[in-house]
Amino acid sequence: MIKVVNLKKSYGRLEALKSISFEVEKGSVFGFIGRNGAGKTTTMNILTGLIKFNGGKIFIKGKDFLKNKQELVRSIGYLPETPTFYNYMNTYEYLNFIARIIGCNLKKTRKSVGKLLEMVKLTKQGKRRIGGYSRGMKQRLALAVAFMNSPEILFLDEPASALDPEGRVEMLELIEGLKDDKITIFLSTHILNDAERVCDKICIIDEGKILLTKNLSQLYETYIQPIFDVEFEEDPEDEVNLLKKFSWIESIKENGRRISIYVKDIDYAKKEILKELSKLDNNITSYRTRKSTLEDIFIRMVSKNEII
Amino acid sequence: MRSFKAYFKKEILESVRGNKYLILFVGTIFWALLDPLVLKLLPLLLKNYLPADLTVLFSTFNRDTAFQTFLKDLFQIGTIIIALTLMGLLSNEVSLKKLVFPYSRGANPAGVVLAKYIHYTVTISLFILIAFLTNYFYINRLFTGGMLSIEIALKSSLLYILYYSVLLSILLCLSSLFKRGLIAGITVLVLGYTLSIFNQFKVVRAYLPNYLLFKAADIGHIFDNSLIPTVIISFCIIILLIFFSILRMKKIDVA
Ligand SMILES: Nc1ncnc2c1ncn2[C@@H]1O[C@H](COP(=O)(O)OP(=O)(O)OP(=O)(O)O)[C@@H](O)[C@H]1O
Ligand SMILES: [Mg+2]
């Protein structure tokens, strides 16, 4: 559905995207994750045709995006990071304005506007000027705009960043529902739990480079190894330094009296770790192994530990 | 066409809610009312304070000179008001990221630019026409003498309309070029005022749009052959600058 090849983008001297490539399948949810300033919004602005790029190729629905932009954009909906509207309009006026641009017929528009407002829970506030909306309300309205004319591809840039907890859950349910309708979703988010729940494919971007693109199931297979969480009675500073010397330990994340040990060789570690811990001069209050979550994988990837 | 209609309606709503119609109305029609009154009343009020020879100067106003005073004031103040009200026509849309949604839903830049240009040209033309007629009516009431007629007033207003259409296309184009509307506004003002200086030079003046203003005040010979190059050049400028603005709005980064 979307194919990006060696995409490059610079802002003056700053290389925001350093030749990235990936592919998004039809009807899938593509999770685009990365730290602040990684290049997520830049990528989405390019793929929705809002900004130019410096190199590479983009294909959407098999067609060259640059050559067929005007036509392809019609099947795309975009929820930008910070949506801006004409503040003097109310919600109905703005949605009608967008409907006119898309070219929906008026009768259909009236029905769909009502439905959209119900979906994003803005029916009651529909007659108020957008200028007086809260951030979350604006995000809800932006979602309604992105949804107009049921696009085939949806770009959602941190769609839940301003929503209340209830709204966030609704957003996830909505995305899950869209998956059933064969709509392709390109989702950027910082809430990795959410990404884990709804995405089919995960793409991690850092400093304008793609570190990994994998199906979620593959990801777990590859990076499944457990993490050992250990809690000590006293601050384990010396112990950590001691443990770090072992070649089978990859890294240790410290958090007060609790540490998380990431290892390179699981089978070996399982046998050795308890032995080594028991030799230490600091009593252990808890010991637990857990599966890595997307968050663990993410943190390990972006903290430059490419050897996992 | 879709984008044109959408943006035309949007500009109407924006002008109503942002009081732009009111400001432009005051900028044009207000002077048409005020000028003749001031010219009539000021000499009466100041009669006792002015030396006799100056009073004579005031009382020499006939319908023609009163009309010419209005033309001058409309140009000087109307231009400021139009330039400052409309300087953000495109630059604000871009810098405030208002075009993200419309562009992401396939808005056509040509429709956007044309809707804005045509909306404000029609608005200003209408206001100018009303202003000229009002002014004509008042002058007839308050002054005598001269050869001013409704036909002359209408011809003169046509030249003003053409002049402001050119000015608006310059403003539109500059507004698409600069991130800050103020730069566009001030450039248009400087351009408008300095080009008027060339009206003193017979060789070049017919090739500059400000000659339209000169001829508009030339009661008795408003339409003559000397205007032909000016009118042709004015239309060329408008078409060229609108075309350029559309190109620019196609290429510009809106996010
Ligand atoms: N208009 C701009 N001009 C100059 N630099 C920019 C511009 N927009 C983005 N950048 C730079 O490009 C890089 C990528 O920015 P981008 O907004 O894509 O990050 P992001 O991944 O969306 O971050 P966040 O998670 O904070 O939203 C950053 O270093 C940013 O400073
Ligand atoms: Mg971003």
pLDDT score of A306 more than 50: no
- A172 with A58, same domain: the answer is yes
Which residue, B188, B195, B198, is CA-closest to B168? B188
Residue B122: count other Cβ atoms within 10 Å of its Cβ. 13
Contact A140, A171 (CB under 8 A): no
Mean of pLDDT over chain A = 88
B179 phi and psi, to 5 degrees? -70, -35
Q: Which residue has its alpha carbon closest to ligand 1 atom 1?
A: A11
E strand segments, A192-299: 201-206, 209-215, 227-232, 249-255, 258-263, 284-290
- A209 with A235, same domain: the answer is no
- A206 with A231, same domain: the answer is no
Nearest CA in chain A to B109: A70
Domain boundaries, chain B: 2-251
In chain A, residues with a C-beta closer than 8 Å to the C-beta of B97 are 82, 84
What is the bridge-based pairing of β-strands A55-60 and A2-11?
A: antiparallel
- A252 with A208, same domain: the answer is no
A240 within a domain of the structure (yes/no): yes
Mean of pLDDT over chain B = 91
Give CA A168 to chain center in angstroms. 14
Question: For residue A36, which ligand has an atom nearest its CA?
Answer: 1
pLDDT score of B54 more than 80: no
Q: Is A16's C-beta closer than 6 angstroms to any atom of ligand 1? A: yes
Cα A300 to Cα A201, A266, A292, distances in angstroms:
18, 16, 10
Task: List alpha helices for A75-189, DSSP H.
Answer: 91-102, 106-119, 135-147, 165-180
The CATH number assigned to the domain holding A252 equals: 3.30.70
Among A100, A148, A154, A155, which would you mutate to test the B interface (most chain B Cβ atoms within 10 Å of its Cβ)? A100
In chain B, residues with a C-beta closer than 8 Å to the C-beta of A52 are 251, 253
- A8 with A65, same domain: the answer is yes
Per-residue pLDDT at A203: 94
Q: What is the C-alpha to C-alpha distance for residues B206 and B202, in angstroms, rounded to an integer?
A: 8
- A140 with A260, same domain: the answer is no
Q: What is the C-alpha to C-alpha distance for residues A77 and A144, in angstroms, rounded to an integer?
A: 10
| Most confidently predicted of A224-238, B46-60, B219-233 | B219-233
Q: What is the C-alpha to C-alpha distance for residues B123 and A92, in angstroms, rounded to an integer?
A: 26
Contact B129, B157 (CB under 8 A): yes
Total domain count for chain A? 2
Higher pLDDT, A253 or B235: B235
B16 to chain A, closest Cα gap in Å? 10
The CATH number assigned to the domain holding A157 equals: 3.40.50.300
Nearest CA in chain B to A53: B253
Q: Is A101 on the interface with B (CB under 8 A)?
A: yes
Task: List alpha helices for chain B, DSSP H.
Answer: 2-17, 20-46, 52-59, 63-73, 79-86, 91-95, 100-104, 109-142, 150-177, 181-197, 211-216, 227-251
Nearest CA in chain A to B249: A50
Give the position of tokens 């309205």. Answer: A141
pLDDT score of A212 more than 80: yes
By Cβ distance, the residue of A48, A84, A145 closest to B96 is A84
Instruction: Name B26's Cβ contacts closer than 8 Å, sequence gap at least 6.
Output: B81
pLDDT score of A150 more than 70: yes
Per-residue pLDDT at A307: 41
A113 within a domain of the structure (yes/no): no
The residues pairing with A214 across neighbouring beta strands, listed in sequence order, are A202
Give CA A75 to chain center in angstroms. 21
Q: Which of A8, A9, A10, A11 is the pocket-test mutation for ligand 1 (most atoms within 8 Å of CB)?
A: A11
Residue A247: count other Cβ atoms within 10 Å of its Cβ. 8
Domain stop point among A157, A179, A214: A214
A129 within a domain of the structure (yes/no): no
pLDDT score of A77 more than 50: yes
Nearest CA in chain A to B11: A86
Q: What is the C-alpha to C-alpha distance for residues A300 and A308, in angstroms, rounded to an integer?
A: 8
In chain A, residues with a C-beta closer than 8 Å to the C-beta of B5 are 100
Instruction: Determine, for residues B2 and A103 on separate chains, whether the beta-carbon distance falls below 8 Å.
Output: yes
The residues pairing with A15 across neighbouring beta strands, listed in sequence order, are A10
Contact A37, A15 (CB under 8 A): no
The DSSP element (H or E) to which A272 belongs, if any, is: helix A266-279
Instruction: Determine, for residues B14 and A88 on separate chains, whether the beta-carbon distance falls below 8 Å.
Output: yes
pLDDT score of B129 more than 90: yes
Domain membership of residue A192 as a residue range: 2-84+118-123+134-214
A93 to chain B, closest Cα gap in Å? 9
Residues with CB under 5 A from ligand 2 (ion): A 40-41, 81
By Cβ distance, the residue of A78, A88, A102 closest to B18 is A88
In chain A, residues with a C-beta closer than 8 Å to the C-beta of B11 are none
Which residue, A307, A306, A2, is CA-closest to A154? A2
Q: Is A300's C-beta closer than 6 angstroms to any atom of ligand 1? A: no
Give CA A109 to chain center in angstroms. 31
Letter for the amino acid at A209? K
Helices B2-17 and B20-46, interaxial angle, to 10°? 50
Percent of chain A whose predicted confidence (pLDDT) is above 70: 98
Per-residue pLDDT at A308: 39
| Span B120-134, average pLDDT | 95
pLDDT score of B6 more than 80: yes
Domain stop point among A162, A189, A214: A214
| Span A130-137, average pLDDT | 93
Instruction: Determine, for residues A78 and B104 on separate chains, whether the beta-carbon distance falls below 8 Å.
Output: yes
In chain A, residues with a C-beta closer than 8 Å to the C-beta of B98 are 84-86
Q: Is A106's C-beta closer than 6 angstroms to any atom of ligand 1? A: no
Q: How many CA atoms lie within 13 A of A247 on its CB side?
A: 0
Chain B residues within 8 angstroms (CB to CB) of chain A: 2-3, 5-6, 9-10, 13-14, 17-18, 96-98, 100-108, 251, 253-255
A112 within a domain of the structure (yes/no): no
A97 within a domain of the structure (yes/no): no
Instruction: Determine, for residues B104 and A73 on separate chains, whether the beta-carbon distance falls below 8 Å.
Output: yes
Tens-place pLDDT, residues A83-114: 999 999 999 999 999 999 998 877 788 888 88
Atom of ligand 1 nearest to the CA of A35: 25
Nearest CA in chain B to A73: B106
- A243 with A167, same domain: the answer is no
Q: What is the C-alpha to C-alpha distance for residues A57 and A176, in angstroms, rounded to an integer?
A: 30
Spatial strand order of the sheet with A284-290 comes to A249-255, A258-263, A227-232, A284-290
Tens-place pLDDT, residues A19-70: 999 999 999 999 999 999 999 999 999 999 999 999 999 999 999 999 999 8
Tens-place pLDDT, residues A215-233: 988 887 777 667 888 898 8
Structure tokens belonging to residue B187:
């450039």
Letter for the amino acid at B163? Y
Give the position of tokens 């994003």. Answer: A120
pLDDT score of B59 more than 70: no
A141-170 residues touching B, CB cutoff 8 A: 142, 145, 148-149
Q: Is A45's C-beta closer than 6 angstroms to any atom of ligand 1? A: no
pLDDT score of B252 more than 90: yes
- A147 with A286, same domain: the answer is no
Per-residue pLDDT at A224: 64
Domain stop point among A169, A192, A214: A214
The residues pairing with A19 across neighbouring beta strands, listed in sequence order, are none
